[in-house]
Amino acid sequence: MAKSSLLNILNGLSEAVFLIGENREILLTNPQAAEIFGKGLEGQNIVRAIRHPDCLKATEEALAGAKISTAVIVLERPVPTTYQVRAAHLPQEDIFGARAVLSLADISHVREAEQMRSDFVANVSHELRSPLTALSGFIETLQGPAKDDKAAHERFLHLMEHEALRMNRLIGDLLSLSKVEVNERVRPTGTADVVSIIQRVITTLSSQAEEDQKTVVFHHPEKVASIPGDEDEILQVFQNLIENAIKYGAPETDVTVTIDQVDGKSGVRGPALSIAVQDRGPGIPAEHIPRLTERFYRVDDSRSRDVGGTGLGLAIVKHIVNRHRGRLMITSGREVGSIFTVLLPLNTTAS
């Protein structure tokens, strides 16, 4: 095979590829290998390019005659990256004198997905185990020491109801999250009246706001265009955001919801609705803001559970907003509380 033809083949591969001679010298590399490990490697020993024992072992085995030798390695350059290493023996010398071909494929995203899945299962197990353990304890107490204690019955039944509702909220949010993640890449086909939706949410949450000594104030233009979107999902977004503002705002303060029409706002092309939900709470430390939409991430674990949070609400909001080709922005400070702003395009071509 001509060198130019071989180079064309290697250049078309997404993996970093090395042709190795019998003395471990690098005979040829493709651009992907040069980009990761540097240029001018031809003629040098492979150990100069990749100083990892498992990679070198796979190369040695291929040079010794092993048909395929594989390994998974992590290289710290400059960000830790996981590679699938494959070294294959070339049984006959070609015009380049190559005796093995070594390829490295970046599988970091696969490993990250596996870790996320593992973390998710662990988190769900922990979140369900806590109320189940509490329920088991209450049942054991009612069957034993408090068997004939009417006052204890009332107290423990109330606590059991609280834990059962907590599990129900968690399962409901898990189902919602699963649904929105599946549909995230599919644009909604309906239309949604945001003003009407928010008014319904405020009515639904009015009793909770009164109990928490808060008032929800809604500002919007006289005429607000409908958006392309799924009405139920948009309702879920503002149910989550307004309820959070009520839960975490300071007593005897307002929760403010403001709608504006904007154009060319960062992250959304064309005209869009900007809906800002602001509380007057203590604010969120800046280091936590980038992680707020992660599943089960909480700034204050105990407080979140005390107010009935599952740790999934903002993850659901993020995926719904993404499905609508919008953007979620979060700002927070001690003097102003927290502001969650949702940008939703007014036309289907915006993204």
The CATH number of residue 246's host domain is: 3.30.565.10
Last residue within a domain, chosen from 159, 183, 207: 183
Q: What percent of the chain has pLDDT over 90?
A: 42
Last residue within a domain, chosen from 106, 126, 142: 106
Residue-wise pLDDT tens digits, 67-91: 999 999 999 876 788 999 999 998 8
Domain enclosing residue 18, as ranges: 3-106
User: What torsion, rounded to 10 degrees, do the Cα atoms 321, 323, 325, 330 define?
Assistant: 20
How far, in Å, are 33, 222, 272, 274, 323 from residue 196 at the CA level? 56, 12, 17, 15, 21
Structure tokens belonging to residue 104: 């490295």
- Which is more confident, 238 or 1? 238
The rounded mean pLDDT for the chain is 86
Whether 166 and 149 share a structural domain? yes
Give 350's pLDDT tier (boundaries 50, 70, 90).
Answer: very low
84-93, 219-228, 295-304: range with lowest mean pLDDT: 295-304
Structure tokens belonging to residue 144: 């034993």
The secondary structure of 16-56, three-state, reads: EEEEEECCCEEEEECHHHHHHHCCCCCCCEHHHHCCCHHHH
Whether 129 and 232 share a structural domain? no
Q: Would you call 113 helix, strand, or coil by DSSP?
A: helix
Whether 73 and 135 share a structural domain? no
Whether 224 and 341 share a structural domain? yes
The secondary structure of 135-166, three-state, reads: HHHHHHHHHCCCCCCHHHHHHHHHHHHHHHHH
The answer to whether residues 193 and 235 touch, using CB atoms and an 8 Å cutoff, is no
- Amino acid at site 77: R
2-16, 39-53, 151-165, 259-273: range with lowest mean pLDDT: 2-16
Burial class (CB in 10 A: 0-12, 13-18, 19+), 291: exposed
Return the CA Rg of the chain.
29
Residue-wise pLDDT tens digits, 183-221: 877 888 899 999 999 999 999 999 999 988 899 999 999
Whether 223 and 295 share a structural domain? yes
Whether 249 and 262 share a structural domain? yes
The answer to whether residues 97 and 42 touch, using CB atoms and an 8 Å cutoff, is no
Whether 142 and 214 share a structural domain? no
Last residue within a domain, chosen from 56, 80, 106: 106
Instruction: Report the domain count for the chain.
Output: 3
The whole-number pLDDT of residue 2 equals 58
Whether 57 and 131 share a structural domain? no
d(CA 95, CA 83): 29
Spacing of C-alpha 301 from chain mean position: 19
Whether 175 and 193 share a structural domain? no
The whole-number pLDDT of residue 258 equals 96
What b/e sequence results for 304-324 when a residue is b if at least 16 CB atoms lie within 10 Å of its CB, and e otherwise? bbeeebbbbbbbbbbbbbbbb
Residue-wise pLDDT tens digits, 18-58: 999 989 999 988 989 988 888 888 999 999 899 899 999 99
Burial class (CB in 10 A: 0-12, 13-18, 19+), 115: exposed
The secondary structure of 195-251, three-state, reads: HHHHHHHHHHHHHHHHHCCEEEEEECCCCCCCEECCHHHHHHHHHHHHHHHHHHCCC
Average pLDDT for residues 266-276, to the nearest whole number?
85
Report strand pairing: 327-333 vs 337-345.
Answer: antiparallel
Whether 138 and 255 share a structural domain? no
d(CA 112, CA 121): 14
d(CA 43, CA 139): 74
Whether 175 and 258 share a structural domain? no
The domain that holds 9 is classified in CATH as 3.30.450.20
Burial class (CB in 10 A: 0-12, 13-18, 19+), 3: exposed
Spacing of C-alpha 262 from chain mean position: 27
Whether 322 and 263 share a structural domain? yes
Give 349's pLDDT tier (boundaries 50, 70, 90).
Answer: very low
